Amino acid sequence: MNQHVSATHTPVLLEEAMKALAVQPGGRYIDCTLGNGGHAAAILKQSSPGGQLLGIDADPSAIENARQRLAEWAGATQLVNDNFVNLQSICLKYDFQPVHGILLDLGLSSMQLDTEGRGFSFRNDAPLDMRFDPQQTITAADIVNRYGETELADIIRNYGEEINSQRIARCIIDARPLKSTRQLAQVVERALGSRKNSKIHPATRTFQALRIAVNHELENLEATLKQAVSLLGFGGRLVVISYHSLEDRIVKQFLHRESRDCICPPTTPECICQHTASLQLVNKKVIKPSAEEIARNPRSRSARLRAAERVFVNDDYRDASEGLCFAIGKNENGWRRPLLLERLRTTFWAS
């Protein structure tokens, strides 16, 4: 199978992401979705001198591309081929915490989408693969050819927000075995008929659903957001760029919950949750790409950026005599230990 790769990936909301991360010289940053290293290069440039970057990607070819692109900062970068769902253990392994900022630029890169043979796009004919990590065992072909009708319809409805999921699932089952992206796209087209008024290809939602299911994208995102907060020093920033409403909803709900002191249901007469805010929203309204960015890079059109800043929480404490701040972290054996949190931003130091 042809492995032709598109030349590059244009980083989305680049200026906005740098501003939201508040990148500063000497800072320590994590890019959980290294891709082609576009955001990572900007972070390294803006954090020099003295900046450090830990870059993660599940796709080994992304790591190799980024390694070449970031070669001039090789001494300041640690690149890790892993799933970002293992964020906490990766940071423990490389002793990389607390940090000044964490970026997640979700989904897939243009290189992955355009690489024939990866099976992400119905525009190329390729095996039904769709894995970010080629070591992972389950592929889109496994789901399409082995799952029952109800399970398939649930995936297509829940992850693709496709109202005709039942009909598509039935047609997939009737057409099995399906081997290639083109075969699947044709089955979905037949199931839905021609949609002259629709702006998107009839198979778009089904392909998105399968990619999300193959890579456990929503579960991984939820689990990673929780870990990210615990790795940020005071005033450290968490920035997430998402590309569809399912991701954005998870990010929005998480940031809103973690920036409130009480998360009891509104009907509860008195607070019983004992929840404390660990974040403060940086942007109350979601940030979207400008018309110019969309014209320059149409793939940015669905991007949504949200950001929040780490605040002082109960478990953290200050040593007033030393003038230092600590948070409770975990060492390599999982035991709690105080972590020195640097003086990242005077506003939070003073508060």
Ligand X SMILES: C[S@@+](CC[C@H](N)C(=O)[O-])C[C@H]1O[C@@H](n2cnc3c(N)ncnc32)[C@H](O)[C@@H]1O
Binding site for ligand X (CB under 6 A): 9, 11, 33, 35-39, 56-59, 62, 83-85, 105, 107-109, 132, 220
In the complex, minimum distance from the CB of residue 106 to ligand X, in angstroms, rounded to a whole number: 6
In the complex, minimum distance from the CB of residue 12 to ligand X, in angstroms, rounded to a whole number: 7
**Closest to ligand X by CB, 293 or 316:** 293
**Closest to ligand X by CB, 108 or 187:** 108
How far separated are the first and last CA of the chain, in Å rounded? 59
- Partners of 160 in the β-ladder: none
**Closest to ligand X by CB, 274 or 290:** 290
In the complex, minimum distance from the CB of residue 316 to ligand X, in angstroms, rounded to a whole number: 28
**Closest to ligand X by CB, 37 or 160:** 37
**Closest to ligand X by CB, 9 or 306:** 9
In the complex, minimum distance from the CB of residue 233 to ligand X, in angstroms, rounded to a whole number: 22
**Closest to ligand X by CB, 59 or 316:** 59
Instruction: Give φ, ψ of 325 to 5 degrees.
Output: -115, 145
In the complex, minimum distance from the CB of residue 116 to ligand X, in angstroms, rounded to a whole number: 17
**Closest to ligand X by CB, 40 or 185:** 40
C-alpha to C-alpha distance for 243 and 302, rounded to whole angstroms = 5
In the complex, minimum distance from the CB of residue 75 to ligand X, in angstroms, rounded to a whole number: 21
**Closest to ligand X by CB, 126 or 178:** 126
In the complex, minimum distance from the CB of residue 38 to ligand X, in angstroms, rounded to a whole number: 3
In the complex, minimum distance from the CB of residue 84 to ligand X, in angstroms, rounded to a whole number: 4
